[in-house]
Amino acid sequence: MADHIGTLVIFGAGGDLTKRLLLPGLGQLLGSSRGYDLKLIGVGFDPMTDAEWRERVVASFAAGGPVSSRSAAVAKTSVYLQADVTKPADLEHILAAATGTPALYFALPPHVTILSIAALEKVGLPKGTVLGLEKPFGTDLRSAQALNRQLVKLLPEKHIHRVDHFLGKSTVLNLLGLRFANRIFEQVWSAEHIERVDIVFDETLGLEGRAGYYDKAGALVDMIQSHLLLVMALAAMEPPSSLDADDLRGSMAQVLRATHAWKGNPVAAGRRARYTGGTIDGRKLPAYVKESGVHPELDTETLAEVTVGIENWRWAGVPFRLRSGKAISDKRQQIVVTFKDVPHRPYGFTGNPGPARLTISLSPDSIELDLNINGEDDPFTLDRVSLDVEFAKGELGPYGEVLHGILSDDATLSVRADAVEECWRIVAPILSAWRKGEVPIDNYRAGSAGPTAWK
């Protein structure tokens, strides 16, 4: 555990991520039962006065919820430093402005983050310094390994927080309680009773001006390689002995090491598609290839579906389908566990609603269990009924949770180096097949459920 974090330094303070997610999350944290007084320093390449920066901070804090006296005080004393974070001299100036132990948050493009980390090697960090890094963590397995090697030259792994805000979602955290605090679920949580698992994150939003990053990444790298594989690891891991960072992240890494493209066939294991022009919720979207900043020759997918298998005793033979798409008609963000059908129904029953399913919704936060019961009118006809409940909302949103982990130097919700590398290893052969053109890219109309041929 680091010394008490006295200063949060945000590199990339003028960016959209800081405005929309980081500062609102920090405001929530400061106003919560886990908040405390600290110094906030914004760092950016472009000029900005302290007064202009404080106005941004105040507005973003307000966007996160009610403004507390503590968050108002932090905003009032916050300062902005114009600097080039790839230059050692500028980094020394930034660290000199910090009070107490600093936490450095890299809200920067990946290539700038790598250059900044290299420059930090020449500076020397105060004892207890904590780093927070936004995804993507590298652009492939080799670059991820290189980044990890560079990071551990600066700090021990336990002080490096690779941020995946999905791990800060209250519903994802509730998955742990659902699995490990209820004997009824853990007893059937295996290939003996489960037919398949689907983890889906479809959204109605299109590109939304993110071509600079997204067109080089695509849905597979942007969502499946990072977020959804980690959610899968939480859903499929062996019970950890505690929620200590080492125990929890060790169990997740064990699952990822056992994960491969379904049946070892990277060509058959994945499908990809790209949206054409259409309408969603009254909004007209152009075809992806017509979006500003997009390079059509890259064949970037906006919908990706990958099926993987976890080759261990618990899950052998169970397909895990991971899917994420943009400009889809219905926002669907959920984990769906489909149980195997019963081996025999007593003769005399009619109707077959299908096997039972457990649906854990990530947005809105809820859980639904589908069961087959006797029908209301004819007791010999089987019918489907759903038991559902909403999860209690957490005190903090996802970025509030991950910032709390960084400021308390609790790595439970951060991604460990080996997990990053395993996620890249899993998708590498699938990415390779796509880039070689071995898997065709289908089309779907924006505002539809996806390609009509996909079932």
Which positions are catalytic?
227
Buried-exposed string 1-17: b where 16+ CB fall within 10 A, e elsewhere: ebeebbbbbbbbbbbeb
**Tokens representing 27?**
């405001």
- Residue 146 three-state SS: helix
Burial class (CB in 10 A: 0-12, 13-18, 19+), 40: buried
- In this structure, the strands spanning 441-445 and 270-276 are parallel
3-state secondary structure 358-372: EEEEECCEEEEEEEE
- Cα angle 367-372-373, degrees, rounded to a multiple of 5: 115
- Residue 264 three-state SS: helix
Question: DSSP for 215-240?
Answer: HHHHHIIIIIIIIIHHHHHHHHSPPP
Whose structure tokens read 């492939």?
140
Inter-CA distances, 147 with 87, 133, 299, 402, Å: 18, 11, 27, 21
Residue 109, preceding bond cis, omega within 30 degrees?
no
Strand order in the sheet with 5-11: 79-82, 39-44, 5-11, 101-106, 130-134, 160-163
Q: Are the C-beta atoms of 208 and 286 separated by less than 8 Å?
A: no
Inter-CA distances, 211 with 121, 197, 216, Å: 32, 31, 8
Q: Are the C-beta atoms of 159 and 3 separated by less than 8 Å?
A: no
In a 13 Å sphere around the CA of 50, the CA atoms on its Cβ side amount to 8
CA 186 – CA 179 distance, rounded (Å): 6
Q: Number of helices and strands (H, E) in the chain?
A: 14, 18
* Per-residue DSSP letter, 244: S
Question: DSSP for 310-341?
Answer: E-STTTTT-EEEEEEESSBSS-EEEEEEEEPP
Residue 11 is inside which H or E element, if any? strand 5-11
**Tokens representing 412?**
């439970």
